[in-house]
Amino acid sequence: MARLLYTLLIYFCLPLILLRLLWRGSRAPAYRQRWAERFGFVARLAEARQVIWVHAVSVGETIAAAPMIRRLQQQYPESTLLVTTMTPTGSEQVKKIFGDSVEHCYAPYDLPDAIARFLGRTHPVLLVIMETELWPNLIHACHRRAIPVVLANARLSAKSAAGYAKVSALAGLMLGELAVVAAQTKDDGERFLQLGVDDDALEVTGNIKFDLQLDDTLRQKAATIKRQWQGADNRPVWLAASTHRGEDEIILDAFRQVLAHRPDVLLVLVPRHPERFDEVAALCSDAGYCMRRRSEGLAQGMSALESKIQVVLGDTMGELLSFCGASDITFVGGSLVDVGGHNLIEPAAWGVPVLSGPHVFNFTEVSRLLSEAGGLAICASATELAEQVVTLLADPERYQRMSSAALAVTEANRGALNRLIALFESQICPPPAQVSSRR
């Protein structure tokens, strides 16, 4: 009954969902495209090949899933990897990272007919869902078709758990149909158990975002960007990454305070959502800053005119990880407002001191590890942010301690990916190489 009521509600809200797509499309035109895929009208995949389906909602989940997907490609070379997202930015990231080596489309809405159509055209033998993208009808449809569903790198904050508890009749049914929940932490696992996940289905594997690989190409790109931003005067670079509405004003206020002590600092401001690029550009201009968009470029070494630039607006997609490597200090957004924070591991993996606001419930364990080690500073206001930036730039020893601590935490927590891949092996048939070796 709970699932039926939920389904009726989804159908009832469908016009509003489509209107929201149109509204978002007015700011980001890609949202107006490929609607058929969202209703399950996707290209048919060859039934002769085993299909492993990985669902990553947007950019962050896609980047986190990339090492896992590459390992699956290596381990199951005869299989087709189908990667779905919900956002155009996620779609662009899939194409950028994997090109034609994976199949890609949007995931269907959680409507029974759309899901049935999608599954009938793709025939997956396994569905891997990244983090917390839980949809009752999708999971139920896979369960009925004996398609194991693995919730990978699963996290569940206390706030989210409380929300699911309010609809426990629906959430319990859904979670009970998951084949495996690979939780990031013991606390995450306990919350899943309390909501209805079977004991036998729960594994605590750690956070695969710690298994981030910074290859030579990425390191070279980051070094090139850093030279461009620093210029001949070797300017310090402060990155404010993945900011949300309400945070940009705080960052710009903090930056004004930083400039009073260090007028040579360059701020790189990267809004989380592309549709806000123009809005944030206007905020920078209204605040009186000399701004340049990343899409407009900066010349190597910076000209005399470019050296006066105070703010670079990060209005390109798929470059944030390299920006972390090009920065001297990184603030991670979604944390000065009640969003829950974004990926603290990316700057830490570069050995960059990390700053954050107090709202980090999406990364509770990561923030705890980094804070206790001394690699992360929590700042609740513009003044506290400015003080941290100024102090770090004025005290090389403190800067180095914080940098080393951040890097040490990432190195010490690797290994979740190997544990996760081992779980997949129990859910699908062995790789062809293993089958051959047993004969």
Same structural domain for residues 137 and 233? no
The CATH number that applies at residue 108 is 3.40.50.11720
Report the number of distinct structural domains present in the chain.
2
Do 96 and 116 belong together in one domain? yes
Average pLDDT over residues 376-400: 98
Are 223 and 199 found together in one domain? no
- The first and second tokens of residue 391, run together, are 């102090």
Residue 51: strand pairing partners:
80, 124
Is 239 within the bounds of a domain? Answer: yes
**CA nearest neighbour of 243 among 287, 281, 280:** 280
Question: Which pTM does this prediction carry?
Answer: 0.85
The answer to whether 175 touches 151, Cβ cutoff 8 Å, is no
Q: Looking at the structure, do residues 89 and 161 belong to the same domain, yes or no?
A: yes
Phi-psi category of residue 33: left, alpha or beta, with phi > 0 → left and psi -120 to 50 → alpha: beta
Hey, what are 313's tokens? 């607006």
Query: In this model, does residue 388 exceed pLDDT 50?
Result: yes
Residue by residue, DSSP assigns 181-231 as: EEESSHHHHHHHHHHT--GGGEEE---GGGG----HHHHHHHHHHHHHHHT
Assess whether 322 and 193 both reside in one domain: no
> Looking at 37, 47, 61, 92, which residue is catalytic?
61
pLDDT of residue 304: 47
- The pLDDT score that the predictor gives to residue 141 is 97
- Give the CATH number for residue 254: 3.40.50.2000
Q: Looking at the structure, do residues 199 and 232 belong to the same domain, yes or no?
A: no
Question: What integer pLDDT is reported at residue 434 of this predicted model?
Answer: 43
Among 329, 323, 346, CA closest to 224: 323
User: 161-165: which pairs have CB atoms within 8 A and are 24 or more residues apart?
Assistant: 161/191, 161/194, 161/195, 164/195, 165/194, 165/195
Q: Is the pLDDT of residue 265 over 50?
A: yes
User: CA–CA separation, 56 vs 84, rounded Å?
Assistant: 6
Q: Is 61 a catalytic residue?
A: yes
Determine, yes or no, domain membership for 309: yes
- Looking at the fold, whether 254 and 398 belong to one and the same domain comes out as yes
What's the pLDDT tens digit per position in 184-241?
A: 999 999 999 999 999 999 999 999 999 998 999 999 999 999 999 998 889 999 999 9
Please report which confidence band the pLDDT of residue 433 belongs to, taking 50, 70 and 90 as the band edges: very low
- CB 250 within 8 Å of CB 336: yes
For residues 263 and 304, membership in a common domain is answered with yes
303 pLDDT tier (thresholds 50, 70, 90)? low
pLDDT of residue 27: 78
Q: Percent of the chain, pLDDT > 70?
A: 95
Same domain? For 194 and 222 the reply is: no
Across 107-211, the runs of DSSP E, i.e. the strands, are 124-130, 149-154, 180-183, 202-204
3-state class percentages of the chain: helix first, strand second, coil last, to nearest 5? 55, 15, 30
**Nearest to 110, CA basis, from 3, 21, 10, 4:** 10
* Residue among 264, 237, 273, 269 at smallest CA distance from 253: 269
Q: What is the token pair recorded at 77?
A: 């070379």
302 has pLDDT over 90: no
Cα–Cα distance list, 280 to 4, 318, 389 (Å): 42, 18, 21
Strand partners for 269? 240, 313
Confidence at residue 299, expressed as pLDDT on a 0 to 100 scale: 53
pLDDT at res. 436: 38
> Residues for the chain: how many in total?
439
pLDDT for residue 278 is more than 50: yes
- Whether residue 272 sits in one domain with residue 401: yes
User: So what's the pLDDT on residue 232?
Assistant: 86
Q: If pLDDT is split at 50, 70 and 90, which confidence band does 431 have?
A: very low
What count of other Cβ atoms lies within 10 Å of the Cβ of residue 134?
19
Over the chain, what is the mean pLDDT? Answer: 92
Within a domain: 11? no
pLDDT digits (tens, 9 = 90+) for 51-105: 999 999 888 889 889 999 999 999 999 999 999 999 998 999 999 999 999 999 9
The predicted pLDDT at position 306 comes to 66
Is there a domain that residue 105 lies in?
yes
Segments forming the whole domain that contains residue 249: 216-412
Task: Kindly tell me the number of DSSP H helices and DSSP E strands found in the chain.
Answer: 18, 14
Residue with tokens 């084949």: 179
156 and 260 share one domain: no
Q: Distance (Å, rounded) from C-alpha 174 to C-alpha 234?
A: 54
d(CA 407, CA 266): 23
What average pLDDT does the segment 284-288 reach? 96
My answer on whether 293 and 395 are in the same domain is yes
The answer as to whether 6 is a domain residue is no
